[in-house]
Amino acid sequence: MKLTVQDLNSHYGPAHILFDIGFEVGEGEVVALLGRNGAGKSTTFRSIVGLVAQRTGRITFEGKDVSARPTHEIVREGLGYVPEERRIFTDLTVEENLEVGRQPKRPNAPYWTREKLFTLFPNLGEMKGRPGGRMSGGEQQMLTIARTLMGNPSLVLLDEPSEGLSPKIVEQMVDAILTMKKEGVSIVVSEQNLHFARLISDRAYIIERGRICFGGTMAELDARPDIRDAHLSL
């Protein structure tokens, strides 16, 4: 398994947010984490990369237990994270944003260069010197993904990549994610949008109120409209 999450519990202060979350991602797989607003998708991702201080449980990445490691070490193992709010460095240019994400080449992961990323996201190549703050939402979303890919991750946590984007940009996003998959990057993508998730994912988990309440292939999910309707707003 590429990534295994077991018994993950997270707290914000006195509030218990995640309850015994567990899921797995196989080598080269695209797995969707589906759920409504506030279900705990982002917190799950933030907990995996160590951005939530109060968490317990076991997170195994490529056979190594990374649960107790600081964020930057987890990321340097090749576990990339693309946050929901994009969090572009608005004062930095596109190229400088990419530079922040740059990490050495990794033997078991595709190697990304600026040029390669500019082919994947042609828009970015046309605005190398533009400050992140003066880009559209879609361009910023591309930049966050490209920035994380500069770290040559073997697995990427993509937090709601389609949120707030126009249908045309969403299409580009689907293409980009499929390209990443083809290159051999494993992906966990959190989504509210089932249609989007279906276009890219092999399997799906549904999270509701901090608990995983379904896990299976997309076909299995389609066979259970009751679950789909109960936990996902369509």
Partner 1 sequence: MAFYVVQFLTGLASAASLFLVASGLSIIFGVTRIVNFAHGAFYMIGAYIAFTLTERFSGAFGFWGGVVVAALAVALIGVLVEMVLLRRIYHAPELFQLLGTFGLTLMVEDLVVLIWGPDDLVGRRAPGFKGAVDFFGQNIPSYDLFLIALGPVVLGVLWLLFQRTRWGVLVRAATQDRDMVAALGVNQKWLFTSVFAVGVFLAALGGALQIPRDAVHHAMDLRIIVEVFVVVVIGGLGSIVGAFVAAVLVSELNAFGILIFPKISIILVFLVMAVVLIVRPWGLFGKPEAAARKTPGLTVNPWRPLTSNERLAALAALVIAATLPLFAGNYALTVGSEIAIFVIFAVSLHFLMSVGGLASFGHAAYFGLGAYGVAFLAKMAGLPMIVCLLLGPLLGCMGAAVFGFFAVQLSGVYFAMLTLAFAQIVWSIAFQWVSVTGGDNGILGVWPASWAASPSHFYWLALGVAALVTVTLRIMVFSPFGYALRATRDSLLRSEAVGINAKRIQWTAFVIAGTTAGIGGALFAYLKGSVFPDNLGISLSVDALVMVLLGGVETVSGGVIGAIVYKALNIWLVSQTDLSKLVLGGFIVLIVVVFPKGIVGMLEMLAQRRRKSSPPGSSLLAKPIESAE
83 touching partner 1, by CB under 8 A: yes
Verify binding: residue 19, partner 1, rule CB under 8 A.
no
Stretch that binds partner 1, among 28-36, 53-61, 166-174, 207-215 (CB under 8 A): 53-61
Phi-psi domain of 184 (left: phi exceeds 0; alpha: psi -120 through 50; beta: other): left
Q: Does 201 bind partner 1 (CB under 8 A)?
A: no
CA pair distance 97, 146, nearest whole angstrom: 9
Its sign, for the CA torsion 199, 205, 209, 210, is negative
In the complex with partner 1, the residue whose CB is nearer, 68 or 100, is: 100
Using the minimum distance from each CB to partner 1, give the nearer residue, 21 or 49. 49
Instruction: For residue 181, give every residue at least 6 positions away whose Cβ sits within 8 Å of its Cβ, in sequence order, or none.
Output: 28, 30, 187, 200
User: Which DSSP category does 90 fall into?
Assistant: T
Member of 1, 56, 108, 166 binding partner 1 (CB under 8 A): 56
Contacts of partner 1 in 94-113 (CB under 8 A): 96-97, 99-103
Q: What DSSP character marks residue 93?
A: B
Q: According to CB under 8 A, which one of 3, 5, 8, 17 is a site residue for partner 1?
A: 17
Sign of CA dihedral 11, 70, 95, 158: negative
Region at 109 (left for phi over 0; alpha for psi -120 to 50; beta for the rest): beta
The region of 72-80, 122-130, 182-190, 217-225 touching partner 1 under the rule CB under 8 A is 72-80
Binding site for partner 1 (CB under 8 A): 9, 11-15, 17, 38, 42-43, 49, 51-54, 56, 70-73, 75-76, 81, 83, 87, 89-92, 96-97, 99-103, 147-148, 150-151
